[in-house]
Amino acid sequence: MLPALPGAVVEEIAAFGRYAASRGWVPATSGNFSRRVDARHAAVTRSGIDKGAIAPGDVAVIAIDEPVPPRLSAETPLHLARYRSDAAVGAVFHVHTVAATVLSRLYEREGVVRTDGLEMHKAIGVRTHESTVEIPIFANDQDTFALAARVEARLGADPAVPGYLLAGHGIYAWGATAADARRHLEGLEFLLACHLEERRLR
């Protein structure tokens, strides 16, 4: 039997949704968010809803190890794979930003966006700004089971960066808590925005 959906989990997801909508990160009902409920279950947003106005009925509790039920986002497998691969992952947020979309295409062949020397590296878990961060890029795929397998195989047991890009699609980020996942997403988006601006000046 599935555990009940905790009200606090809905509120964390809805609060992130309101924030993401205010930033323009979830246009056209895009994006999807999830939060671990316990060792074997996660709460995930349903498909086609306005992510800026998430209500309890818009979030479903599902088993991490079982097939994805209907009416959930086609991208649910990408969320579940993260929870299965790493017991420390407590929240996964996916949004669509212009910077993530454009840079993920520009560097799709390289498979990575590189940023170096930025203080913001510390927000995504790097010890010092004197470092190079490589944000992985994966080719987009409507077969999200196959895509999730490719993502997890490359990320491995201890990913250097708490997020990745899907080419022409958007950005995923995660963390132990909803606050950590949001901090990682904001940090990665800032790195991408700076990189994009530096490209414009070339």
Which residues sit in the known binding site for Zn(2+)?
94, 96
CB of 127 to a second copy, least distance (A): 8
How far apart CA 129 and CA 145 sit, in angstroms, is 35
Q: Does residue 109 interact with a second copy by CB under 8 A?
A: no
Site string for a second copy, 44-83 (x = CB under 8 A): ------x---------------------------------
Query: Per-residue DSSP letters for the chain?
Result: -PPP--HHHHHHHHHHHHHHHHTT-SGGG--EEEEEEETTEEEEEBTT--TTS--GGGEEEEETTSPPPTTB-TTHHHHHHHHHH-TT--EEEEE--HHHHHHHHHTTTTTEEEEES-GGGGGGT-S-SSSEEEEEEE---S-HHHHHHHHHHHH-SS-SSSEEEETTTEEEEEESSHHHHHHHHHHHHHHHHHHHHHHHH-
Site string for a second copy, 4-43 (x = CB under 8 A): -------------------xx--xxxx-------------
Task: Name the binding residues.
Answer: 94, 96
Q: Which is nearer to a second copy, 11 or 65 (CB)?
A: 11
Q: What is the footprint of a second copy within residues 111-170 (CB under 8 A)?
A: 117-120, 123-124, 128-130, 140, 142, 166-170
Binding a second copy (rule: CB under 8 A), the pick from 45, 73, 101, 144 is 101
How far apart CA 156 and CA 49 sit, in angstroms, is 32
How many residues touch a second copy under the rule CB under 8 A: the total is: 45
Binding a second copy (rule: CB under 8 A), the pick from 41, 46, 160, 190 is 190
Contacts with a second copy by CB under 8 A lie at: 23-24, 27-30, 50, 96, 98-99, 101-102, 105-106, 117-120, 123-124, 128-130, 140, 142, 166-170, 179, 183-184, 186-187, 189-190, 193-194, 196-201
